[in-house]
Amino acid sequence: MNFIIIFFFLNLITLFYKDIFIPIRKIKIASINFSLNEYYTTIDFIDLLVLNLEAGQNLYKSFQNACYCITNDDLNKVTNEILLRYHLGTPFPTCLKEAYNKSLSPFFLETIETILISQQLGTPIQKALLELSRTLQSHAILTAEAFAAKAAVKMVFPLVLFIFPVIFVLLGSGSIQDLIISLHF
């Protein structure tokens, strides 16, 4: 039994002090979740914008109604600034262009760019935003799948370093004790 405990601690020390295992300790779960949060916040915003446009409201009113349901604080500040500039007399496309020049979430910038290009080309904004929403949904799913794949690979190291050796030690512990006794340690 002592051998099992010593072996476990040796594996634990090896896991945390070898350079080969440094990437395991630096799992970036927060950044991936933040990225997914931005994806889904932007997708929800686009879907609400499209629903309001399909209900017959103009672009500004649809944008205003979609802004009320944003959960991301950074995105909420930017959309409120766009609405404030519009209320102060700036044309709505100009407000969008000014917001586009700021550093924002790339997904929201893509939404603004889609609206501006659709207005310039005279194409239906609903169709362009629906296509953008579908594209962002597929990207969000791919990002989640990539995260799941990375998590599965990172689970191989504890399996190989802890579980398999413990199983082998437990299966052969009687013979190991006999060997130690016969060697007079």
43-97, pLDDT tens digit by residue?
899 999 999 999 989 888 998 888 888 888 888 888 888 888 888 988 988 888 8
CA 116 vs CA 36, 45, 113, 122: distances in Å = 25, 16, 5, 10
Kindly tell me if the per-residue pLDDT of 30 is higher than 50.
Answer: no
pLDDT of the residue at 103? 59
Kindly tell me if the per-residue pLDDT of 128 is higher than 50.
Answer: yes
Q: Which two tokens stand for residue 162?
A: 């802890």
Q: String of b and e for 134-151 (b: at least 16 CB within 10 Å)?
A: eebeeebeeeeeebeeee
- For the chain, what percent of residues have pLDDT higher than 90? 10
Give per-residue pLDDT as tens, 136-159.
999 888 888 887 777 666 666 666
Q: Which two tokens stand for residue 60?
A: 């500004």
pTM for the model = 0.63
Which residues, 6 or more positions from 48, have their beta carbon under 8 angstroms from its beta carbon?
65, 66, 69
Q: Which two tokens stand for residue 126?
A: 């609903």
Mean local confidence (pLDDT), 109-113: 88
CA nearest 104: which of 25, 167, 41? 41
